[in-house]
Amino acid sequence: MHVLFVCTGNICRSAYAELYARHAFGGDLVFASAGTHAMPAWPMDEDMAAHLPAGVDVSGFRSRQVTKEHVAQADLVLAATARHRKYLLDEVPREHAKLFTFGQAAAAARAVGNGLPAGEAFGRLADRRGPASPRLDVDDPYGFGPDAARVCAERLRADLDLILSLF
């Protein structure tokens, strides 16, 4: 299963999600990230990188702009905010079934439970999808310092641990 994480610049939220998920959930899951307005080839934000588990190497990470092909190749797309999800829906409307915000997917995962076969888990996650409400968004920590990065990293870890445990 291929999971794509999307935020704005692909240097904080989606970058963190990709590197954390690779570290915590390797195996048959493949993780990538991109940004809706990314400056290509930027390194990961240092404040966010500081909150990755020990031993995660960020030196090879470089940001990239999301493309229709990235979304088409993914089985599940997790966007940081409702705005990012809308951007993706406008660009690739036929891929709507796989597009969630982190908050939508986490709320649905709470309702689904775990231990299901991957195909069944995805279907149940989609069935339980609620609205992409801004109250479920993962706030952008860029430029707000280490405390904002810590809060963002804690939120992403909690959401990812819940969502990816289904698969």
On whether the CB atoms of residues 17 and 33 are closer than 8 A, the answer is: yes
Boundaries of every domain in the chain: 2-164
| Three-state DSSP state, 43 | coil
What is the model's pLDDT at position 111?
Answer: 84
Give the tens place of pLDDT for each residue, 145-162: 999 999 999 999 999 999
Taking a C-beta distance cutoff of 8 angstroms, is the pair 27, 1 a contact? no
Model pTM score: 0.95
Spelled out in words, what is the top-level CATH class assigned to the domain 2-164? alpha beta
